Structure 1
Amino acid sequence: MRFNRMLLSTVLVVVALVLQVCVLARLQLPGAVPDLMLLTVLGLALVYGHVGGAFVGFGAGLLADLAPPADHAAGRYALVLCVIGYLAGLAKPESGQLRSAAGPMLVVVGAAVGTTLLYAGVGALVGDTAARDVGLGSLIFTAALYDLLLAPFVVPGVMALARRAENDPLGESSGGSAKAADVSSGWLSGGGTGLSIGGGQRGGLRMKSVKARASRAGRIKGVKRL
C-alpha cells in the first residue's frame, strides 16, 4: 500500500482502539461491546478494496490483540479482522461512489455477525468457551445492533478521509490520484447550473488554448498536423 494509505490507516486504527478501550468498553452495555475497530476497518475496506481491507484488518486486529487488557491469544482477532476486511473490500463499488446507504448498512450487519461467529469459532478451537457461556445468540444480536447504530457516525467519515487521502498529489501513482479525484468530483456534480455552465466555459477556453499551443508547437517543429 502507498504511504498515505498506511499513515491514514494507522492513525485511524490507533484512535479507534483508544476510544474503544477507554470509552466504549467502560459503558457496561449488555451483551457485546460496540466494535469501533471493526467499523474503521470496514470504512477503509470499502475504499481500498479487498487487498487493502485484508492488510488493514490484519494490522488492526494484531494491534487489538497486543493492546492491554488483552484476554485472548495474540493473532486471534487479527485473523478475524483480516478475513472480514477482505470480504468487505469485495463490496467496494466499482465506480467508487455509494448510491445508497443500504449497501454499507448490510455490510456492517454482516460483518458484525461474521466477526462474532469467527471470533467464537477460533476461540472454540483453542479452548476458549467464554462466548458459549455468555450466550452466542445474545452476543450476535447486540453486536449487530450496536455496530449498526454506531456505523452512520463512523463509516462515512472514515470513507471520506480515505478518499481525500487518495487525492494526495504526493501519492505514488498519478493515475490513482486522478481516479480518486474523479470519484470525489462526482459528489459535487450537479450542485448548481451556474457552476456547471462556468466550468464548461472555462473548460472550452482551456481546450482552445491547448489546441492553439499544440498547433504552434507543430509548426515550429515541422511536424505535419492533420
Structure 2
Amino acid sequence: MSSLYRTALIALAVVAAVVVQVAVLGVVAVNGVVPNLALVVVVAVTIVRGPETGVVTAFAAGLLLDLAPPSEHLAGRWALAFVLAALLAARVRHDARQSALAGLATVAACSFVATSVFAFTGQLLGDHALPAGQLFSVVFLALLWDVVVAPLLLPPLMVLFERHRAHELAA
C-alpha cells in the first residue's frame, strides 16, 4: 500500500506542476519562457527517492509536458531532457541533500541541461521556430526562472517526499 501511496503522491505533484506550468504561469512568461515547475518536481523526487524513481518520474513528467496543450513540438523532447536531468541530479543527490545552496545548484544545473537538450533536439529535428542565436537567451531565461522558483518549491517538496520516506522506513 505504501508503494501505491508514494506513486500517487508523486503523480499528483507532477500533474499539479504541469497544470500550473501550462495553464497558469503563461501570464508571467518572459519571451514565452515560464518557470519549469515539472523539472523542480523531478529534481526533488530524484534527490529524495533516488535515481530509479527519479528517472521514471522524469520520463512521465516530460511526456506529460510534451503532450499537454499547447505543445507545438515533437513528443518526447521534454521526456528525454528530463531523464538526462534526473540522471544528473542522481549523480549529486547526496551533496544536494546537505544544503539548500547545493539543492539550488542542482536545480540550476538540471535546468541548464534540460533546456539545452530540449533546444538542441529542436534544432536537430528542425522542430524549433527560433533561430540559433535566440536559443541562448531562452536557455538563460529558463535557467533564471527555475533558480527563482526553486527556493520556493524544492524544500517543501523534499520535506513532503522525505516525510513519506521516513514513514516507509519505519513500517
**TM-score computed with the length of structure 2 as normaliser:** 0.90
Query: Once the 2 structures are TM-superposed, how far is the Cα of residue 28 of structure 1 from its aligned partner?
Result: 3.2
**Structure ID, larger Rg:** 1
Poorly superposed stretches of 4+, deviation over 6 Å: none
| Equivalent position of 2:151 in the other structure | 152
CA shift in 2, pair 1:31/1:73, >3 Å: closer
Alpha-carbon distance in 2 for matches of 1:41, 1:23: 19
Corresponding letter in the other structure for 2:151: P
Please report how far the alpha carbon of residue 31 of structure 1 lies from its aligned counterpart in structure 2 after TM superposition.
5.6
Contact 2:74 2:127 in 1 (8 A): no
Q: Distance in 2 between matches of 1:167 and 1:25?
A: 36
Distance 1:147 1:57, change over 3 A: same
- Unmatched 5+ stretches in structure 2: none
Correspondence for 2:82: 81
Are residue 102 (structure 1) and residue 101 (structure 2) matched?
A: yes
Give 1:52's aligned residue: 53
Matches within 5 A, 1:121-160: 121-132=120-131, 135-160=134-159
The higher-RCO structure (CA 8 Å, 6+ apart) is 2
* 8 Å Cα contact 1:44/1:53 also seen in 2: yes
Query: How many residues in Structure 1 have an aligned counterpart in Structure 2?
Result: 170
Q: Percent identity?
A: 36
CA distance in 1, matches of 2:130, 2:3: 38
- Structure 1 stretches lacking a partner, 5+ long: 172-176, 182-226
Contact 1:31 1:143 in 2 (8 A): no
CA contact (8 A) 1:49 1:90 kept: no
1:1-226 map, 5 Å: 2-30=3-31, 32-93=33-94, 98-132=97-131, 135-168=134-167, 171=168, 177-178=169-170
Contact 1:81 1:115 in 2 (8 A): yes
Displacement after TM superposition at 1:147 (Å): 0.7
